[in-house]
Amino acid sequence: MNLKYELRNGWKVINEMNNIDAVMKYSDEYMDFLNKGKTERKCVKEIEKMAIEKGFKSILDIEKVSPGDKIYAINKDKNIALFIIGKQDIEKGLRIIGSHIDSPRLDLKPNPLYEDDNMGYFKTHYYGGIKKYQWVTIPLAMYGVVILRDGSKVEINIGDEENDPVFCVTDLLPHLAAKQRQKTLEKGIEGEDLNLLIGSIPDEDQEKDKVKMNILNLLNSKYNLVEEDFISAEIEIVPAGKAKNLGFDSSMILSYGHDDRVCSFAGVKAILETENPEYTASILCADKEETGSNGNTGMHSRFYENTVAELINMQTDYSDLKIRRAFSNSKVLSADVNAGYDPNYSSVYEKNNSCHIGYGVCISKYTGARGKSGTSDANAEFVGEIRSIFNEANVVWQSGELGKVDEGGGGTIAYILANYDAQVLDCGVGVLSMHAPYEIISKADIFEMYRGYKAFLNK
């Protein structure tokens, strides 16, 4: 018997199990999902499409549920939850994979368009925890919806097609940056400096704001949009370009949006390949995690609870007690990413308790900051149960924290579901350059995560 806890290299196990082709196929599917799902709205559309192809039906079209039924529910085009009804009553508890599909980005302000020195700009407001200096001088795409003055909705998707223009935030040339270089990284680029350059051709028929008016004319001709319509718009600015294989061996993926679409996709794939589970299986893809999970599409909303209540009502006589029991009896993997150990910045990690790239899916007993603030802290019994499930399925797993105790930290949606008295454990993959415009993950890790989620839902 080996008395020591030792990490297993994911690629070594994958080779031993002859799973290389499966890993690469899964990674290609995931990269395609990333390319199509640049925003939470786009992700919801893609997941809905995947679910329908596998026989899932909208909860709006269901009156009664039976074991094996496959159902999905959408909340305001920004959340989606999938369910497969189990053999046991929902009151007995669900097996839930809870993830989020929003990612750090730049949003347009409600009154964004202005002109300065014959150049047109959009004012932006950054969303989530970003390093602002990382968002300058890179090609950016524009996605979103606008509700026009007549109440109609138009979609904007610019920057990722072959012949599309892109946009960018400018930076100061090094020849004139002596004062800028003296600032901290946090202050080198200020939030109000993240102004998106969008055009420079003037409309000579106008007396003033010639570039601004030319841009408005272009937007009006293509989208029937007037300037006031920006007030009722949700337009997100994200890195342009597709996900790319990283490394001579193509062992990693460089892309925008790994946090947290990497876990969402794994959960979706796992439930799409689940049939007739003992307990009702579910994957939840929430919004607003990067800003605290608030709002009517964040995890603090009642969307998921209300959906489970509807399913209970379709299964049996409804009572408030039954939904309370359902959540209290539930077991949850909070599917979010962890900080991958980076040798370039080793001083902020405690190596023995870090998530290592290429060593499988990572379970985290707690996240939070410093004195475990903002964490649900899973109990030993549930950690042991997940560990046993993974070992039985020969899933490559590891344990990790988010950096050294006093260096900072971060949270997930785990504590919100734990507040319902559910058993919850954080479980995801390590990411390098987290919250940067382009993040890095290991293909070995994401494949083991998908296998782990599938084992959990089917246990």
Which tokens in the block code for residue 339?
Answer: 């900080």
Asked if pLDDT for residue 422 goes beyond 80, the answer is: yes
Of 342, 319, 347, 340, residue with least CA distance to 404 = 347
Give residue-wise pLDDT tens across range 13-36.
999 999 999 999 999 999 999 999
Strand order in the sheet with 244-246: 244-246, 252-255, 439-442
- Helix, strand, or coil here: 214? helix
Q: Which residues pair with 289 in a beta bridge?
A: none
Instruction: Identify whether residues 29 and 112 lie together within a single domain.
Output: no
Instruction: Identify whether residues 442 and 335 lie together within a single domain.
Output: yes
Give residue-wise pLDDT tens across range 381-420.
999 999 999 999 999 999 999 888 888 888 898 899 999 9
Give residue-wise pLDDT tens across range 188-239.
999 999 999 999 999 999 989 999 999 999 999 999 999 999 999 999 999 9
Share of the chain above pLDDT 70, in %: 100
Averaged over 126-139, what is the pLDDT?
A: 97
CA distance 68 to 451: 21
**CA dist 154 → 48, 134, 428 (Å):** 20, 30, 35
Check if the beta carbon of residue 336 is closer than 8 Å to that of residue 435: no
Instruction: Identify whether residues 211 and 295 lie together within a single domain.
Output: no
Of 50, 11, 9, residue with least CA distance to 33 = 50
**398: in domain:** yes
**What's 208's DSSP letter?**
S
Instruction: Identify whether residues 73 and 175 lie together within a single domain.
Output: no
Instruction: Identify whether residues 375 and 288 lie together within a single domain.
Output: yes
Which tokens in the block code for residue 201?
Answer: 């051709």
**94: in domain:** yes
Of 366, 365, 395, residue with least CA distance to 458 = 395
Q: How many CB atoms are closer than 10 A to CB 275?
A: 10
CA distance 118 to 44: 39
374-384 burial string, b = 16+ CB within 10 Å, else e?
bbbbbeeebbe
**4: in domain:** no
Check if the beta carbon of residue 437 is closer than 8 Å to that of residue 389: no
Asked if pLDDT for residue 2 goes beyond 80, the answer is: no
**176: in domain:** yes
**246: in domain:** no
Of 404, 403, 368, 386, residue with least CA distance to 449 = 386
Instruction: Identify whether residues 286 and 322 lie together within a single domain.
Output: yes
Dihedral pair phi/psi, residue 49, rounded to 5°: -60, -45
Asked if pLDDT for residue 1 goes beyond 70, the answer is: no
**Domain termination residue (choose one: 212, 239, 266):** 239
Q: How many helices (H) and strands (E) does the chain have?
A: 12, 23
Instruction: Identify whether residues 219 and 136 lie together within a single domain.
Output: yes
Sign for the pseudo-dihedral over CA of 308, 362, 15, 392 = negative
CA distance 280 to 69: 10
CA distance 221 to 296: 33
CA distance 213 to 458: 58
For residue 95, what pLDDT is reported?
Answer: 98
DSSP state string for 327-347: HHT-EEEE---EEB--GGGGG
CA distance 254 to 439: 6
Dihedral pair phi/psi, residue 315, rounded to 5°: -95, -35
CA distance 141 to 354: 34
**Domain termination residue (choose one: 205, 239, 273):** 239
Asked if pLDDT for residue 271 goes beyond 80, the answer is: yes
Supply the CATH number for residue 203's domain: 2.30.250.10
Give residue-wise pLDDT tens across range 70-121.
999 999 999 999 999 999 999 999 999 999 999 999 999 999 999 999 999 9
For residue 375, what pLDDT is reported?
Answer: 84
**CA dist 292 → 44, 72, 100, 102, 439 (Å):** 20, 25, 11, 11, 21
CA distance 409 to 49: 36
Instruction: Identify whether residues 60 and 208 lie together within a single domain.
Output: no
Helix crossing, 40-53 with 258-272: angle to 10°? 10
Instruction: Identify whether residues 197 and 278 lie together within a single domain.
Output: no
Chain position carrying tokens 């409600």 = 110
Domain that holds residue 143: 105-239
Of 359, 371, 357, 380, residue with least CA distance to 409 = 371
Dihedral pair phi/psi, residue 10, rounded to 5°: -60, -40
Q: How many CB atoms are closer than 10 A to CB 214?
A: 20
**147: in domain:** yes
Which tokens in the block code for residue 359?
Answer: 């060593």
Check if the beta carbon of residue 106 is closer than 8 Å to that of residue 295: no
Exposure of 210 by Cβ count < 10 A (0-12 exposed, 13-18 middle, 19+ buried)?
middle
**202: in domain:** yes
Dihedral pair phi/psi, residue 363, rounded to 5°: -100, 140
Check if the beta carbon of residue 260 is closer than 8 Å to that of residue 100: yes
Supply the CATH number for residue 376's domain: 3.40.630.10
Instruction: Identify whether residues 382 and 322 lie together within a single domain.
Output: yes
**245: in domain:** no
Q: How many domains does the chain have?
A: 2
Instruction: Identify whether residues 147 and 204 lie together within a single domain.
Output: yes
Which tokens in the block code for residue 165?
Answer: 């223009």
Instruction: Identify whether residues 112 and 75 lie together within a single domain.
Output: no
Asked if pLDDT for residue 285 goes beyond 70, the answer is: yes
**Domain termination residue (choose one: 213, 239, 265):** 239
